[in-house]
Amino acid sequence: MIAGLPQADKGLFQKPDLFTLLTLIIGYRQHLRVVGNSMEGTLKEGDLITYKKLNQKNIDLEIGDIVVASHPKTKNKLIIKRIHRIYQNKFDLRGDNFLSSTDSRDWGLIEFDLIIGKVDKIFSK
Amino acid sequence: MAFVDKRHYCKKKLFSNYFQMLSETLTSIFNKLPARSVHAHCDGPCGVYDPASARIAAEAVLSMTKKLITLAPAGNDQASISAYNNTFSRFVAIKEEESQKTKKELLILWTDYFKPEHLATYPDLHETFWKAAKLCSACKVSIDQTKAEELLAAVQKIHSMFWSSKGRSDSWVTAS
């Protein structure tokens, strides 16, 4: 776990609300269900996350952000990781549960194009 | 005045109940909301690793090596020689297969389970796995009991590293 992040994550954890449901229905936000344990410490299996797709207005990524990206080796598979380092346009993505995570330590740096969105809300199961 | 207070209290309670109901309904909707999966990925696919599979294969290598060393034809007639050749070939095939299996299981632990962070605790991790993988090859190409015993000892060392990295101390129990 990257030092100091649990505090930063606090704002992400929310209770279900009508506004979020509405933004999901109209497509302003996307939602995904977490599978696996590589983000344990922050995300558990079954948690629902919402994210906003990256676009020209929304490309502000920082170290510590949790992001949704396309798997670099497997087509049509999405992964969720935390940005550990940024090298120009390439990202070192790591799981919070570093002893049980397959991430940039195995795949190498992830291209910006593979990053789909930044997680903005987490609804714990 | 008391009547007004009571009305105010009832209204407040009504709103409170209403919000609680709304919150419960929303939680239920969010929990059941159909959603695509996003993988908090590990290749296990869920972090399930165990050196036991390497241990079983390494034990089989040692067992087949011992059997090959003591194997001899029952007689000098053609039937005995054929039976000997047949059994010898089968034992060699199993020994080679199990050696390969041991190597595969060790490589999975080495490349998928162990991470750079483990090197701080186990500085000889790479050396241990590299030697163990070499022993798998040696056991595959020869009938050498010493090498097979060394392989099992190497797997035992990896077993200890693995479980101590998980904060557990599972005892080393062999099947044979």
Check whether B40 has a pLDDT greater than 90.
Answer: no
Lowest mean pLDDT among A29-38, A100-109, B54-63, B95-104: A100-109
Q: Please report the ipTM that was assigned to this predicted complex.
A: 0.84
Token output for B103: 């190597």
Q: Is A98–B39 a contact, with Cβ atoms under 8 angstroms apart? A: no
For residue B100, the model assigns a pLDDT of: 95
For residue B43, the model assigns a pLDDT of: 57
For residue A105, with 0-12 CB atoms within 10 Å meaning exposed, 13-18 middle and 19 or more buried, which class applies? middle
CB A100 within 8 A of CB A62: no
Q: Kindly list the structural domains of chain B, giving each domain's residue range(s) and its CATH number in brackets, ordered by start.
A: 52-165 (1.20.120.400)
Half-sphere exposure of B151 (CA within 13 A, CB side): 34
Average pLDDT, chain B: 88
Token output for B126: 């790479």
What averages of pLDDT result for each successive group of 10 residues across chain A (125 residues)? 56 86 89 89 90 80 92 89 90 84 86 92 88
Average pLDDT over residues B33-51: 75
Q: Is A35–B40 a contact, with Cβ atoms under 8 angstroms apart? A: yes
Average pLDDT over residues B140-158: 96
For residue B65, with 0-12 CB atoms within 10 Å meaning exposed, 13-18 middle and 19 or more buried, which class applies? buried
CB B99 within 8 A of CB B139: yes
Half-sphere exposure of B161 (CA within 13 A, CB side): 25
CA distance B44 to A82: 20
For residue A1, the model assigns a pLDDT of: 46
Check whether B19 has a pLDDT greater than 60.
Answer: yes
Each domain of chain A, given as residue ranges in start order, spans 5-123
Per-residue buried b or exposed e for A56-92, using 16+ beta carbons within 10 Å of the residue's own CB = eeeeebeeebbbbbbbbeeeeebbbbbbbeeeeeebb
Token output for A30: 């996307």
Distance from CA of B39 to the nearest CA of A (A): 4
Q: Is A98–B40 a contact, with Cβ atoms under 8 angstroms apart? A: no
Q: Which residues of B touch A106 (CB under 8 A)?
A: 43, 112
Q: Which residues of B touch A16 (CB under 8 A)?
A: 23, 26-27, 29-30
DSSP 8-state class, residue A37: S
The two beta strands, B36-39 and A30-35, are: parallel
Binding-face residues of B in 104-123 toward A, CB within 8 A: 112, 115-117
CATH number of A5-123: 2.10.109.10
Lowest mean pLDDT among A6-20, A110-124, B38-52, B74-88: B38-52
Q: Is B33–A39 a contact, with Cβ atoms under 8 angstroms apart? A: no
- Give the pTM: 0.55
